[in-house]
Structure 1
Amino acid sequence: MTIELVTDKELWDKFVDQSPYGTLFHKWDLLKIIEKHSGYEMRPYGLFKNDTLYAVAPLFFKNIKGVKMVYSPPQGTLAYIPYMGLAMRHDYKTLKQRKREQYLDNAWADLSGELKRIGANIVSITMVPDMYDVRPFMWDGYEIKLLYTYFLDLTQTEEEIWNSFDNDCRQKVRASAKHNLTIKQSMDVDTFFNIMVGRLKGYGNNFFTRQSPEYLRDLLTAFPENIKLYFMYKDQDIVGAAINCCYKDQYTGWFGDATINREIASNEYMNWEFIKMAKAQGYKRLENWGADMKRVNQFKSKFNPTLVPYFHVRKKDRLGAISEWGYDNILASPYLGFVRKTIF
């Protein structure tokens, strides 16, 4: 295989659409928005065999005072993207095991060679949940970290899904339904940011204190069919907020689960409404991201999802290790514990 930077947006997006590992977070315009708001340079690498594109790897590069950092995706406090990394071609899963391993080994060998050529001091890549084979990274000296997310099977009947919830969850949904609650789509990013900043007050430096509302506004504008902001109202008052995204057969709870009125179980009610919405729209599975955060996993597990692993790989030289130490100490906070786990 050979490696080169892809400049053809149409080729890139078509590949991502067809790849079993391609996500919304791999799409060209979303990557460009991350580049615009993160301060990192987007480097969309393609792995080719002859003239055929076999894998893509969107990487983000930054040189800070001689420390060369490569991320996929960038830090959570800048992009809030759960995973990215390598995406293999459309027929990869249908290949025999030996052929799959050959393609993956060759793709990583070329990408690893490029990382060495540019002299990366820190490399941090979080793979998509379905990308389980991280042995080439392990053999190349990378540290492997196990992460988790939650998935709910939407091919079940609505009754089966409902009956699988904890009793406490069902009771809270029923109690909330007695209020005059409505969920409306919105573009009011500023109000959403203000809600989240207030909700996370006391958790130290986080995405909503570091990033601009313009980042989310650009995402909502660029992907109106895929990324949507919702507010839940009790009469005229906002009592819940969330941003969800959808792509291919997956619906993802991305931002939110903000408790505003503690007299109403807004999170349980909104999640149930989103589950019904996603199922009605034909999605096959729903991801409730955030299983690694101890403070929220007990809430998310109420809906009886399946715990699914995914992997983060990282490597750093001595200069990178010094930089990592500085970052951890400057931005140390309980809230960022799970973020640091996925970016360094």
Structure 2
Amino acid sequence: MDGIEVRELLPSEYKEWNLLVEKAQPGTLFHTSEWLEISRDVLAKDLKIYGCFRNGELVGGCPLFIKDIKGILKVATSTCNMTSYSGPIIKESASSKASKREQETHEILNSLREFLCKQGFDGIHLTFSPGFEDIRPFTWNGWNSAVRYTHYLNLKENIDSNLSEERRMELETATEAGLKTRAWNDPETYYRLLSLAYEKQNLKPPLPGEFFKRVFNLIQEKDIGYMFVSETPEGEAVAAHLNLYGKKCAVIWTSALDPDFGHLGSNALLYHNEFLDLKSRNFEYMNVMAANVPTFVDFIMGFSPELIPYYSVSLENIKYSIAKTLYKTLHKENY
């Protein structure tokens, strides 16, 4: 089998990268150069996309954000704020033999791993998207691993038969209050609701408004998602979900809620009507990206979702491990 060459992609090669993301499993919107560049620009990140080539053909790769910590540590991570996963992807094998497919996967991942280990990073953190199951080329070579979770709502099932009694009551409350839902792509409305939700907790939103403006522009330009809102009879938006289209699914990327209207069941109404809308458009499932937040898990379990694991791997040198331990110790003492 021919060897794999790994190198940083030039911006002129990003189109080729996006074609790989489109065809690869499990390539996602979060892997695309457009999404990565929004994070790079708005959050002032140093972005590199590394490609794996076989005989000149791009067959895999991984995007990374590089952070220099006070000139002492150099850390690479495949994720950033509100991008839960964007790790390695590989071209799907054409072979019908499981052993051959596994061999090709391991060859690409081993080459990528060896390349990353030579880049002088003190810490490397990769989070694979759901559906990427074989991380052994990393764990077999001393990398630590962790499991995370998301929820899938099966759109082929009858949503009403899967609702808990609490969710049913919330839907009745929303109906009695006259709440309605509709698609409405308005970044100012979304960011207002998001800010209200965080202000209630005395926190700032995790991303600046400019990030969401650029995401909305990308959504409209590429037709890759939509915002769904709950409104009062007077037309005031009180809850919103920002949904992104994936392969056979829609990803509920982020949600926002005016806390003053939470008791009206507006969030439950959003999920219920989104389910029906996406089902009518032949999507197979909804990816609800909040299974790692205990307070939200209690809510979403009322829709009987399936728990889906996804994985992360990390490699840290001694210097990074010591610095992390000192930081945690000082932070604890100051707390």
Does structure 1 conserve the Cα–Cα contact (< 8 Å) formed by 2:196 and 2:258?
A: no
Q: CA deviation at 1:221?
A: 0.3
SS of the residue 1:91 aligns to: coil
Matches within 5 A, 1:234-273: 234=232, 235-258=234-257, 260=259, 261-273=261-273
What is the aligned partner in structure 1 of residue 14 from structure 2? 9
Residues 196, 257 of structure 2: 8 Å contact kept: no
Q: How does 1:202-221 map to 2 (within 5 A)?
A: 208-209=205-206, 211-221=207-217
2:75 aligned residue: 69
Partner of 1:301: 301
Separation of aligned partners in 2, 1:326 and 1:42: 28
Q: Partner residue of 1:342?
A: none
Residues 143-168 of structure 1 show CA distances to partners (whole Å, capped at 9, x for unaligned) of 11111110011123xxx222011122
Looking at structure 2, the residues matched to 141 and 147 of structure 1 have their Cα atoms a distance apart, in angstroms, of 20
C-alpha deviation, 1:100, in angstroms: 2.6
1:215-272, Cα deviation, whole Å (9 max, x unpaired): 1111110222223233321023332122111123111111115253133011111100
Question: CA RMSD, aligned part only?
Answer: 2.3
Give the AA of the match of 1:22: G
Match of 1:336 in 2: none
Shift of 1:11: 1.2
Bigger drift between 298-307 and 29-38 goes to 29-38
Aligned residue for 2:270, secondary structure, equals helix
- The 2-side partners of 1:302 and 1:331 are apart by 37
Name the aligned partner's letter for residue 236 of structure 1: G
> In the alignment, which residue of structure 1 is the partner of 2:88?
86
Counterpart among 29, 32, 40 of residue 35 in structure 1: 40
Q: 3-state SS of the aligned residue for 2:262?
A: coil
5+ long unaligned stretches in structure 2: none
Paired residue type of 1:54: V
Aligned residues: 322
Partner of 1:170: 168
Give the AA of the match of 1:219: V
SS in 2 for 1:312: strand
Deviations for 1:36-62, whole angstroms, at most 9, x for unmatched residues?
A: 122222211111111222212111112
TM-score (norm 1): 0.86
Q: Which residue of 1 aligns with 2:286?
A: 286
Contact 1:187 1:217 in 2 (8 A): no
CA distance in 2, matches of 1:329, 1:275: 45
Supply the AA of the counterpart residue of 1:90: E
Structure 2 partner of 1:133? 134
Cα distance in 2 for partners of 1:4, 1:267 equals: 45
The answer to whether 1:54 aligns with 2:62 is no
Give the superposition deviation at 1:205: 5.9
SS for the counterpart of 2:85 is coil
For residues 330 and 191 of structure 1, the distance between their equivalents in structure 2, rounded to whole angstroms, comes to 40
Please report the TM-score for the alignment, with normalisation by the length of structure 2.
0.88
Over 3 Å counting, the alpha-carbon distance change for 1:155 and 1:230 in structure 2 is closer
Q: Is the 1:219–1:227 Cα contact (8 Å) retained in structure 2?
A: no
* Contact 1:259–1:267 (Cα < 8 Å) also in 2: no
Residue equivalent to 1:101: 102
Give the secondary-structure state (helix, strand or coil) at the position aligned to 1:262: helix
Q: Indicate the SS of the match to 2:84.
A: coil
The answer on whether the counterparts of 1:147 and 1:309 sit within 8 Å (CA) in structure 2 is yes
Contact 1:58–1:86 under 8 Å retained in 2: yes
- Taking the aligned partners of 1:161 and 1:91, their CA distance within structure 2 comes to 36
Contact 2:193 2:256 in 1 (8 A): no
Q: Against the structure 1 CA distance between its residues 242 and 20, is the aligned structure 2 distance closer, same or farther, given a 3 Å change threshold? A: same
Distance 1:203 1:139, change over 3 A: farther
